[in-house]
Amino acid sequence: MRGHDSFAACRFFRSLGLAYAALTLAGCGDDSTSNPGGESPARLTVPLEGAVSGVPLQAGQTTHYVTELHVPSDIRSVQAAELDVQATMLGVTLEGIPASSLARALLARLGGAPLNAVTYLRVGTDSATVCSDGISYGPFTAAYTSSLTVDPPTATMDEATLQIVNAGSFFICLSITPDFDATMSLDDLEADVTQEDCAAPADFSGRWVGTYQCGNSCNGFPFGGDIELIVTQDGTSASYTDDGGDMYTGTVCGDVFRFRRVGPVDDDEVGSLTLEGVNQATKHSTWRTTAEPHCGGNCVDQLTRVTP
């Protein structure tokens, strides 16, 4: 568990929609171009393909629904994203009837009164803890009458969430408290996102040495020491092995190498290695154990390349 760092991997979800929902995708552009300002916001609609389907809801009870989302390998980083909650919730079906066409017949079936539901969306890196300590968005109140209204209708994704999503895979927890009984499904997600174009990939290959410092949520005591990395790179694809024998793979986008730990491990780690000079780099990551009691923390490594 050495050299843990803070989120990332140059693959990513085009949008992060929500409602009773999850997140979305957006692909990587030409690695030979550079656009420091990023692109203009673009509307993205991504089908969930059955990821959220047939979820049972009970009146007055909160239902937590956890699902994992994976980022495609050709995805680039997102600079900003606004979740269109109302548009996403138009993709919800209740008892098989789309929210966009709820009418008196459905209201009569479910009690004859307007239907209301309060939803939270939480984003995190651990399926066991995302519902309790994930980054929270909401509450969003949906009112189903002859049409659908959501308050607030949108939500802006913060930097911490962008880092988690940009890491390549993550978990979402949907917490739903309705005033009716039903089964719910969600077809797709909607968001307006600004993506970052990748500059030509920098060269990270070689032997890197330095020190690392990590936090620990379980005992509050930071830990650290010396670290050595051997990085191999082929264009925009890169991997490294640390002196503890752990392997990490990811993608290079400009001066940033985003990675995730691979193989059977007791703790997960995602992060980014950023080139600060020809032979100087800083590594940020976050780590979390895969078993109880789910310890974790953020890390910072200061590295120098000693062998090109």
User: Could you report the per-residue pLDDT of 117-145, keeping only the tens digit for each?
Assistant: 999 989 888 888 899 988 999 999 988 87
Structure tokens at 280: 């100087």
Q: Are residues 189 and 220 in the same domain?
A: no
| Cross-strand partners of 178 | 117
Domain coverage including residue 278: 206-307
User: Could you report the per-residue pLDDT of 91-115, keeping only the tens digit for each?
Assistant: 888 888 787 777 656 666 666 677 8
User: Could you report the per-residue pLDDT of 214-239, keeping only the tens digit for each?
Assistant: 988 888 889 999 999 999 999 989 99
Q: Are residues 216 and 177 in the same domain?
A: no
Identify the pLDDT of residue 103.
61
Task: Write down which residue in 157, 172, 195 finishes a domain.
Answer: 195
135-144 sheet: strands from edge to edge: 63-70, 169-178, 115-124, 135-144, 148-151
User: Could you report the per-residue pLDDT of 38-49, keeping only the tens digit for each?
Assistant: 457 777 666 666
How far lies 44's CA from each of 47, 49, 87, 139, 191, in Å? Answer: 10, 15, 11, 23, 6
Task: Write down which residue in 172, 195, 218 finishes a domain.
Answer: 195
Phi/psi of residue 87, nearest 5 degrees: -65, -40
Average pLDDT over residues 281-304: 83
The alpha carbon of residue 173 and the mean position of all alpha carbons in its chain are separated, in whole angstroms, by: 11
Structure tokens at 65: 């629904």
